[in-house]
Structure 1
Amino acid sequence: MDFTEAELDAVLEDIAKDKHFGTPAADAHHTIATQMWGHVKALEYTTGRLLVFGQDAELLAGAPPGTPRTLEGPTIVGVEGTGVMSREIEDPVVLVTDLPGDVPWPHRTLNLEPANINDLDGADVVIANLPLADVRTLTRARQVDITKPHHELIRRALDWLRPGGLLIALAHCQLLEGTDARPRHSIAMHADLIAAARLPANALRRAPLLDSPVDLLMLRRREPGHQPSGLEFIGRSPVRIEEHPPMLINDCYATAPWNVLGNIVPDPIEPGLTTAAPLSGHFGVRLGDVLHDQTNHAIDLACTPRNAPRSHPGPARNHQEERSVPPTQTPTGPRCSTEPVLTEHDQARLCRERREARHARHELRPSHACRALARAHPWHPRDEPRS
């Protein structure tokens, strides 16, 4: 049987979806949670209501590995209207619990329950593990099929938040890299991007066709009447990588390439775009390092639950000062990574120290690890394209 190129791409995309559903990502989600929660608490999101949905929702909420899943309950309201059917969302039940306060990670006392309709209003933090975030897209139609539901689910999750609430989303890179900027414009009308980190290819699942980089995004719902703040993410800028023609990458990474947790290289399938090739070692330590710098900058801008953020054109960068963060070991278990990661107490302590030392300044100072990532890219983000 002969296939056209478009038909073959569609078949491969269906295979990628099957592999996505059949390949666990618990270890990666556990690593993300260990790095993320210390910074969420440093931003002072410690009290109120937490909503979480998507695969391994209990792990991302900070529950210890082995916590039973809640398989029954109301699913994401109106998910069919987003273009993604319920069966395509891993664990579509929306869970609700109280934020863990200052309880050390892991959050052993979490009482995760299915949310009811009244819970989907005025939440303080929402964690959204969006569907098919690491699946390779081979056709324009599939790119639209990924971007549209991710945009709609992010907008819906923002609606669940109170003004000043925090949304943490694991999203497909097409949301930030897609040619159509309207979804990004729509999100920017309602929220500020206070942190973004791009996980490298195969960070969640080591399987063929699951090599799309995944973006970890922290979006703060903007209070009515307040000016936009945070990172620029609507546009894309050209970058130059060795002898290759200029390629496009989202502005939040073009201005800070160390926020990509891998080597920025040309995408082997998408001409004119980039991907993130994995570096040696585990991405967990680099993720904690990037979130540390970005949440410190958010604290400088007063992007916390009880403060109105100050308008700022973007983080000023001082490349004179560097910082070294000694990694420590995370607890191990049947679903835990044994790679070294920063503990939650180290993250919170370092954030407090940096906040006290830099309360009057607005600087983002890359660490040793981030500077190493930047030096690994032999290009300059703001160079003009070659003629």
Structure 2
Amino acid sequence: MEPNPGPVPDPDLAVQADLAATHDHDQEDATARHEQIASALWVALRQLGVTGGQMLILGEDPEVYAGLPATERRIPHGTTAELTAPVPSTRWPHTGLPLRRPLNLDPDPFDVVIDNIPSNDMVLRSTEASEKHLEYQQLHVLGAIGLTRPGGIIALLASSRLLDHPDQRTRLQMEGAVDLLGAVRLPAGALRRTPGNDGPVDLLLMLRTWPVTTTFADSWPVTLDGTTVHLAEYFNDHPEHVLGTLTSQTNPWGSPTTTVVPHPGDLLPQLQAALNDITSSAHTRKLITQPAAADLDAPIGYSITEPETQIPRVNAERPVGELDEARAVVGRRRAQRRSTRPTTSSDPAQRARETHGDPETPGL
């Protein structure tokens, strides 16, 4: 006789847990941690050759990741926005940086794109919410790549599921368009500590290039604490870039996942050491930012199969169609959001300033 597995948890409880996590996410401020991550990130970007050009900052706390001092920030903590500015020539913090909202829905590719993907630390329990959360992370990644010029740098803060999830198709699209310079996995609770908001987050550094030289699409089954979970091949090869101890986390409503128990001590020195290792490796491999030269429509090499099958490492001459599509989706969402933004003035010029910001005045 088969053993009784016990009662199946009520799916409605998963939905309630997700609602509570969403509420708590909006209440808990992660700005102090974002400031630490951003300061270490900009040191790494400088080491990778970022000295000029135009940058796009997406996601949560964009002023923080642009390096704007706290005294000059105008957006409330935790707000999601899209901002552009010239890459600052000054050292951190970037005082007086002329941040603006993008006026063009389809801008020229940027030299640097930094995307702190919203809700990247959330751990959602219901099947539908969890799938949508992963899809949202994937869309942001592909959109960020599509908005970066060849030779440019992409820095992402994404859910650890982006690299760990068994479905490799999005990673294969990434792999065909960028070289992964490196990734750092932050421990659980690094950004927020409330239940449902304490998921591990990965900081990825990528170079938009063709042809690519790195592979990172695979995610392998591994056993952690007697439980089988999927782990990204990158962290299987580079455990030193996991800022803590890898372990498994059960989910009453789904498959177990990986999590990271933090190491003792301050997180910032650990992050700085990992990023320094990544930038040193990038220089050794000659993978640093380059002057703009290539065409965004250059073919990329990858093939997509079902995640249960072996992924063939073959080159297929294929334009960056999926990236262009993701880029178009980003543009449509921007346009839709702006078209529904309420206005309070009957003056057309004033409404334009409320929608797009004053083009003559630094700031938003």
TM-score interval w.r.t. the shorter chain? 0.7 to 0.9
Aligned to 2:153: 166
- Give the one of 145, 156, 165 matched to 2:143: 156
Unmatched segments (≥5 aa) in structure 2: 1-7, 294-364
Local SS of the residue matching 2:43 = helix
**How many correspondences in the alignment?**
283
Aligned to 1:250: 232
Q: Is the 8 A contact 1:264 1:277 kept in 2?
A: yes
Deviations 1:5-60 (A, max 9, x none): 21110110111111111111101100101111111001111100011022211111
How far off its partner does 1:239 sit?
Answer: 3.4
For structure 1, which segment, 26-35 or 142-151, has the greater mean C-alpha deviation from structure 2 after superposition? 142-151
Unmatched segments (≥5 aa) in structure 1: 72-89, 309-387
Local SS of the residue matching 1:157 = helix
- Give the one of 57, 74, 86 matched to 1:98: 86
- Give the one of 51, 56, 61 matched to 1:51: 56
How far off its partner does 1:282 sit?
Answer: 2.2
Q: Is the 8 A contact 1:62 1:106 kept in 2?
A: yes
Task: State the alpha-carbon separation in 1 of the partners of residues 255 and 140 from structure 2.
Answer: 28
Q: Is the 8 A contact 1:121 1:159 kept in 2?
A: no
Q: Does 1:136 align with 2:123?
A: yes
* One-letter amino acid of the structure 1 residue matched with residue 241 of structure 2: N
Task: State the alpha-carbon separation in 2 of the partners of residues 11 and 247 from structure 1.
Answer: 25
Q: Does 1:273 align with 2:257?
A: yes
Q: Is the 8 A contact 2:149 2:208 kept in 1?
A: yes
Distance 1:304 1:118, change over 3 A: farther
Q: Is the 8 A contact 1:146 1:174 kept in 2?
A: no
Deviations 1:333-364 (A, max 9, x none): xxxxxxxxxxxxxxxxxxxxxxxxxxxxxxxx
Q: Is the 8 A contact 1:262 1:278 kept in 2?
A: yes
Q: Is the 8 A contact 2:62 2:80 kept in 1?
A: no
* One-letter amino acid of the structure 1 residue matched with residue 27 of structure 2: G
| Deviation beyond 4 Å, 4+ runs, structure 1 | none
Aligned to 1:364: none
Task: State the alpha-carbon separation in 1 of the partners of residues 217 and 127 from structure 2.
Answer: 20
How far off its partner does 1:92 sit?
Answer: 3.8
Point out the structure with max Rg over C-alpha: 2
- Length-normalised TM-score, structure 1: 0.69
Task: State the alpha-carbon separation in 2 of the partners of residues 112 and 163 from structure 1.
Answer: 23
* One-letter amino acid of the structure 1 residue matched with residue 284 of structure 2: D
How far off its partner does 1:118 sit?
Answer: 6.5
- Give the one of 278, 296, 299 matched to 2:280: 296
Task: State the alpha-carbon separation in 2 of the partners of residues 189 and 17 from structure 1.
Answer: 34
Q: Does 1:237 align with 2:220?
A: yes
Aligned to 1:361: none
- Length-normalised TM-score, structure 2: 0.73
